[in-house]
Chains A and B, each alone.
With several copies, the nearest count.
Chain A
Amino acid sequence: MKLLVANRGEIAVRIFRACRDMGIETVAVYSDADRTAPHVTMADYAVRLGPAPSIDSYLSIPRLLDAAKKTAASLVHPGYGFLAESAEFARACVGAGLTFVGPSAEAIEAMGSKTRSRELMKAAGVPVVPGTTKPARDVTKLAEFARGAGYPIFLKASAGGGGKGMRRVAREEDLGAAFARASAEAKASFGDGSIYAEKLLESPRHIEVQIAADQHGHRVAVGERECSIQRRQQKVVEECPSPAVASDLRAKLFSAALSAADAVGYDSCGTVEFLLAPDGSFYFLEMNTRLQVEHPVTEEVWGVDLVTEMIRAALGEPLSFGSDELAPHGHAIECRIYAEDAARNFAPSPGVVSLVRLPDGPGIRSDVGVESGSTVPIDYDPMLGKLVAHGRDRKEAIARLSRALDEYEIAGVDTTLPLFRALVRDPEFRDGRYHTQWLDGWLAGPRLEPRDASVEEAILAAVCVSIDGNSPREGILDRGSRWGQVARVEALRAAETLPRGTRR
């Protein structure tokens, strides 16, 4: 039996590892930019899709189906991002006689549309954030709603998430411009510019519940995750359990999430996202009908393998655990490592990763999609992978995360590692006192200025640049090429013509 992963990077590696554990052969697909990527070199089979741009490779349904046919793959897993929430792709797979590892196309469609999913939730008695019901193509409907619900409001692309096509609007005057930009961004990322609006809750927390289900009607809520550390709606750090959820709230969240899953007869792994207001009330946000980037924190604390469960469910097998057999132990924290320079407004930093040195030892897990020598292409979401620390409690998890960061080396491209190093030392983070707007405020401060060197550090640097080959003179030449590259990136970014895979 062969499984094709219609994706790249760390999630393709993650899914192939589950396949190996289950004795299923692995089929990788790749664009020209990814020929020597780890997800290709570990696979049993590999098929070229096309040139680097996503539309000609990872987003091309016909080429993906050809690759499956060529290698006689019978299973297809979409990963996250790219076509993971495309009902069209799910249908195309089924139409080609393939087993789509994920929920039904209908469930994807229902939960994919923010407005339809909210209607379903209202019907199922799940509280929803006040918002427009129909996806709007023009601004008038949104203005009407905003006047009723009161500003600030939140504009969202109805066909996708991950920070794309999202704008906060504080006052009526800004609505027009914000709508135009949000709609354009949504069009570029999901091919659908329709937008809907929601009441903006003040400093809420983002809590999501992991659902595992099979085709025999078994549905289990496998713990919650805290994902409030976000930068412009993009998750940066996730935790399990949430420091803000006590057992009675947890029970309510679980039952709401299960109602959501029941409402669409959900039969795979998925995540129901809620906004938790400071007063303890919570509102349905959306259901992600796919595997989440942050699934490892749930796996470490609840001792489950969610990817294996998805594949079993797709094959018609029952879930390998009932809710009674599950028990959480300890606390886990995940950091998403992006090839971006947090100190330069998260400017992307594509290029060749000259060195990857991963931390290890007790409580540390790395799900990573690059290795020394890998290229970080400019064409896709610049996430390199995730660092996950697990401890007996939140305090030990943070101590282990901090220790792992001291061992972590990525050279050749800038990364968000320095951000995490500063974060684990921040008193508010260490006390779990944060919410979805916290990080944006934190980043505005002078926190990421690199410290000045001590005398000892200056001696180390002097030895490096003097004895080493890369003394300043040569420094310019080889540095030049990389700085030239960054200039090229800046130019590209400015032109906003960057055809990005959707960001998760």
Chain B
Amino acid sequence: MTIRRRLVWRRKEGPAELTVESRDGRKVTVDGPAGPALADSAKLADGRWSVILPSGRQLTGRAASRPDGRVEAWIGARRIHLELADPLRDLAAESENADGGAMEIRAQIPGRVVEVFVVPGDVVAAGKTLLVLEAMKMQNEIRADSPARVAKVECVAGQTVETGALLVRLESEPVV
């Protein structure tokens, strides 16, 4: 069973990509901000995971993702929060399109547009909710990742969308 997962770790210092790769579920390579690290991973009977990093550092804990993209991780009584977006799971994801600068936000799975909060020309701050998309009975606010200007709005409230349908096109806000 080969596993290959691309995760986006949204940190204060800016998003970082984590690629998780493993052929046997035991030797797991995690390519992160500090380069690739081979983690000797083992799942425990009670559902927790133990990883031993090349430095010998050992961590055992559990983590589960929440619909809002946040991952709730626990090591004993310590609760750790991290925004670990999985493009597959985020009902929409931004991708740099050809002509750079512009970011297209497309639906990742079929859903229904519940509400739209922006019109072309709006200038939005990072975290501003652009629209609410409903899929599998879960409502998910699609927010701007960084400050931008709304170039195009391709959907209206009540409209159902297919996977890949363009929802909003943003242009990075020229530094004024």
- Name A's B-contacting residues (CB within 8 A): 27-28, 35-36, 40-48, 67, 70-71, 343, 354-355, 357, 371-374, 405-409, 411, 417-418, 420-421, 450-453, 455-468, 470-473, 475-477, 479-480, 483
Contact = CB atoms under 8 A, between A and B. Distances in A.
Contacts of B44: 36, 41, 373
Given A70-B56, A480-B138, A459 B32 contact: yes
A462 B41 contact: no
B15 to A, nearest CB: 12
Of the candidates B20, B30, B33, B65, the one having the most CB atoms from chain A within 10 angstroms of its own CB is: B65
B158 to A, nearest CB: 23
Nearest to A473: B89
Given A451-B80, A470-B65, A40 B58 contact: yes
Contact of A476 (B9, B75, B138): B138
Contact of A450 (B40, B51, B81): B81
B22 to A, nearest CB: 6
B20 A450 contact: no
A450 B76 contact: no
Contact of A405 (B3, B73, B77): B77
B20 A467 contact: yes
Given A36-B44, A41-B44, A460-B61, A405 B76 contact: yes
A418 B75 CA distance: 11
A345 B62 CA distance: 24
Interface in B117-145: 136-138
Contacts of B82: 452-453, 457-458, 461
A70 B56 CA distance: 8
> Quick one: which of B43, B77, B81, B89 has the most chain A CB within 10 A?
B77
Contact of B47 (A355, A453, A456): A355
A64 to B, nearest CB: 14
B5 to A, nearest CB: 4
A260 B148 CA distance: 71
Interface of B: 3, 5, 7, 9, 11-12, 18, 20, 22, 25, 28, 30, 32-34, 37, 39-53, 55-67, 69, 71, 73-82, 84, 86, 88-89, 136-138
Given A47-B56, A457-B59, A408 B64 contact: no
A476 B89 contact: yes
B136 A463 contact: no
A351 to B, nearest CB: 13
Nearest to A418: B79
Given A354-B47, A460-B63, A479-B67, A465 B52 contact: no
A465 B7 contact: yes
Given A460-B61, A462-B7, A467-B20, A455 B46 contact: no
A373 B56 contact: no
B39 A470 contact: no
A355 B52 contact: no
Given A41-B44, A355-B46, 11 more contacts: A42-B60, A71-B56, A411-B62, A457-B82, A460-B51, A466-B7, A467-B49, A473-B89, A475-B65, A475-B67, A479-B65
B136 to A, nearest CB: 6
Given A41-B58, A373-B45, A457-B82, A464 B73 contact: yes
Contacts of A409: 46, 48, 62, 74, 76
B67 A466 contact: no
A458 B46 contact: no
17 contacts: A44-B58, A45-B57, A45-B58, A355-B48, A405-B77, A409-B46, A451-B81, A453-B73, A455-B34, A458-B9, A459-B53, A460-B39, A461-B63, A463-B41, A466-B3, A467-B22, A479-B67
Contacts of B42: 35-36
A467 B28 contact: yes
B91 to A, nearest CB: 10
Given A453-B81, A461-B80, A468 B49 contact: yes
Contacts of A355: 46-48, 62
A46 B50 CA distance: 10
A457 B30 CA distance: 12
Nearest to B45: A373
A41 B46 CA distance: 12
A373 to B, nearest CB: 2
Contacts of B51: 459-460, 463
B77 A408 contact: yes
A421 B80 CA distance: 12
A479 B25 CA distance: 23
A219 B82 CA distance: 52
User: Closest 10 CB pairs between A and B?
Assistant: A373-B45, A472-B89, A464-B63, A417-B77, A475-B65, A46-B58, A466-B20, A466-B5, A41-B60, A461-B63
B67 A460 contact: no
B12 A452 contact: yes
Given A27-B56, A468-B43, A483 B67 contact: yes
Contacts of A475: 64-67, 89
Contacts of B88: 472-473
Contacts of B9: 453, 458, 462
A447 to B, nearest CB: 13
A479 B22 contact: no
B112 to A, nearest CB: 16
A229 B62 CA distance: 30
B82 to A, nearest CB: 4
B48 A41 contact: yes
A483 B74 CA distance: 18
A418 B64 contact: no
Nearest to A459: B30
Contact of A467 (B3, B37, B58, B67): B3
A392 B32 CA distance: 45
Contacts of B89: 472-473, 475-476
Contact of B58 (A43, A67, A453, A468): A43
